[in-house]
Structure 1
Amino acid sequence: MTHSFPPLLSRAFWVCWAVTSLNVLISAGYSTAALVSQGDSNVYTQYAASRSFALVVVILGVGRFRSPQALLALSAVMTLIQLGDAVIGFQLHDAAKSFGPLGLAVLTFIAALFLLRANRQPLS
């Protein structure tokens, strides 16, 4: 069953879904690249890829069922994942691995705030 949203909530939902989807797909892309480059010899790469692929399935389900609450939860998870990646990048003294994830975390957080604000607006 899909929901019909007021226009502001609909726009906020799809903006947040697009940003969170981008975040999930980038994460899955990096996991896939690591898996391909290292093969199945590295079990940690396999675990990372498994989790990334699960997040792809979840974001597709969230889009299908249009659940703002589920999207907010997944956006929070992806924000935390990207913040963790940024911390690792800073520890490596690698600007791209620091500021790329940090920027994506901030963008996802802002999109989630937009959805949260729109979800709390009166429906009239």
Structure 2
Amino acid sequence: MLQQTPAPLRPQAGLAGRAAAGAGAAGGQGLFSFPNMRPADVISCLAELHVTFTLDDFDRPSAQKMATLYERVAELLLGVVPDQFSLHGRCDDLFADVADFPDTLADSVGQLAFFREL
């Protein structure tokens, strides 16, 4: 009895490749593309969550505004509160050996920990 060798595995396209292929690709099976939404629709969805975001924020996003948006959405949908990652009070111990002013690192490291958790 002959054993059949399995067909070689083909690499699959990443998310960008799948989105670019779209539903019009051969057969269109196994592909998923996110729905295109207008900025006004996104802002409307955020407003339903009581998250303030404007067209100006959409056109010219600032780091602070985006951080606030991520924090608010993560808090509402995931239950992750940014204060969980606050390093105030513990910063002196953590950064005493590597930084002259360890308090200046508390906010940025806390933000990095929050975004990593996302």
Q: Under TM normalisation by the shorter chain, which class is it? A: under 0.3
| Greater fraction of residues in helix | 1
Q: Highest relative contact order (Cα 8 Å, sep 6+), 1 or 2?
A: 1
- Which of structures 1 and 2 has the bigger CA Rg? 2
- TM-score, length basis structure 2: 0.26
